[in-house]
Amino acid sequence: MTRSTLTLSTTLKTAIAAIGLASGLAMTTTAQADYPEQDVRLIIPYGPGGATDILFRLISQEAEKTLGESIVPVNMAGAGATLGSRNVKDADPDGYTLLGSHDTIALSKLAGTVDYSFDAFEPIALLTQTINIPTAHANHPVQSAEEIADYVSENPGQVRFSMIPSSTDHFFWAQFFQEAGIDMADVRLVGYPDTGEQVSALMAEEVDFAMFNLPSGGAFFEDGTFRALGIAHPERLDSMPDVPTLREQGIEMDHSTSRGVFAPKGTPQEVVDTIANAYEQALENEEVQSRIENEFGSVVRFLAGEDYQAFLDENEAALSAAAENIDFQN
């Protein structure tokens, strides 16, 4: 083979490779431009009926009108809400498998349950913040949150608090004990896989207290099955005007659950933006806003892009600082 023939062969191979690369890029760009072309799965790492499940279903049903394809909620509870998050983390970054979750992503890493946190995903958008409520069953002698500390001191080692290990309510109770002056050695934390089972446990009086909110406990507050002991928010809820805030009762804490949508790491920015826009449009619907705020005791708070990333960074830093005082193994 002559030098000129070799040069021609090399040039031809380079040209073919360049054409292949350009073709691949064009196909990728076209696929992104055509997104979505099929149903999108939204993995909810909790069982049906809890606040996270209810809110994501409500908002996603409206968001799919803008997206142009169905958003199909899939409950995937288990392993402290990490079964679902790991499924999404390991999914193809094509925009067809999403995660609807909250602070538990960071809490699971802090608890040593998993080795990943928010940075393992592409954050799409923050949607809502739900105000949390310490709760007792209707037959319980405790009438308000400020009475819990005395009840624990009178029954050391016997008072049972339900929680999902490494999840938001686990953190809530640890913070509550600290602010209310309760020694964690004097309480019993009882773990459940999801909110639905916690509801059943409190109804059966298997536990003394649980942390709920209006999406998960509103119907039970209304019919008298459960008693709301306080509102973990600076102001009382319009839907429960007779229930004082924790601060009114001398417990200096606020606590909400911040829910957002995530995609697998590496999902194209154009796809992330498309999904974020669909959820933003959904939250502008007045009926959706009204239900979120009035039925579910939550506030609409939409953040996307750099704003949402900054929010997650600040949230994780705060959780990390608080987790230093939490024994997640007990």
> Do 235 and 149 lie in a common domain?
yes
pLDDT at 9 (0 to 100): 53
Position 294 in a domain: yes
Condensed to tens digits (0 to 9), the pLDDT of residues 127-173 reads 999 899 999 999 999 999 999 999 999 999 999 999 988 778 888 99
Condensed to tens digits (0 to 9), the pLDDT of residues 70-91 reads 999 999 998 878 999 999 999 9
Condensed to tens digits (0 to 9), the pLDDT of residues 212-233 reads 998 889 999 999 999 999 999 8
Condensed to tens digits (0 to 9), the pLDDT of residues 104-127 reads 899 889 888 899 999 999 999 999
pLDDT at 24 (0 to 100): 47
> Do 85 and 222 lie in a common domain?
no
> Do 126 and 138 lie in a common domain?
no
> Is 90 exceeded by the pLDDT of residue 329?
no
Q: Smallest Cα–Cα separation from 199: which of 44, 47, 79, 81?
A: 47
> Do 81 and 229 lie in a common domain?
no
> Is 60 exceeded by the pLDDT of residue 1?
no
> Do 125 and 149 lie in a common domain?
no
**Cis check: omega of the bond before 36, within 30 degrees of 0:** yes
Cβ count near 157 (within 10 Å): 9
pLDDT at 2 (0 to 100): 52
**Angle, CA 246 vertex, CA 244 and CA 250 arms, to 5°:** 110
CATH number (domain holding residue 71): 3.40.190.150
> Do 154 and 218 lie in a common domain?
yes
Position 21 in a domain: no
> Do 103 and 122 lie in a common domain?
yes
Position 7 in a domain: no
Residues 10, 269: Cα–Cα separation, whole Å: 36
> Do 138 and 228 lie in a common domain?
yes
Condensed to tens digits (0 to 9), the pLDDT of residues 153-162 reads 999 999 999 9
Position 25 in a domain: no
pLDDT at 131 (0 to 100): 92
What residue numbers bound the domain in which 51 lies? 36-130+256-323
- Out of 232, 249, 266, a domain closes at 249
> Do 137 and 243 lie in a common domain?
yes
Position 158 in a domain: yes
- Out of 190, 215, 249, a domain closes at 249
Number of domains in the chain: 2
- Out of 249, 269, 295, a domain closes at 249
> Do 67 and 99 lie in a common domain?
yes
Position 27 in a domain: no
CATH number (domain holding residue 161): 3.40.190.10
Are 92 and 98 spatial neighbours (Cβ–Cβ below 8 Å)? no
> Do 153 and 236 lie in a common domain?
yes
Position 126 in a domain: yes
Residues in the chain: 330
Position 200 in a domain: yes
Mode of pairing for the β-strands spanning 121-131 and 133-137: unpaired
Range list of β-strands (E), the chain: 40-44, 71-75, 97-101, 121-131, 133-137, 159-163, 187-191, 209-212, 226-228, 256-264, 298-304
> Do 185 and 43 lie in a common domain?
no
Residues 107, 213: Cα–Cα separation, whole Å: 19
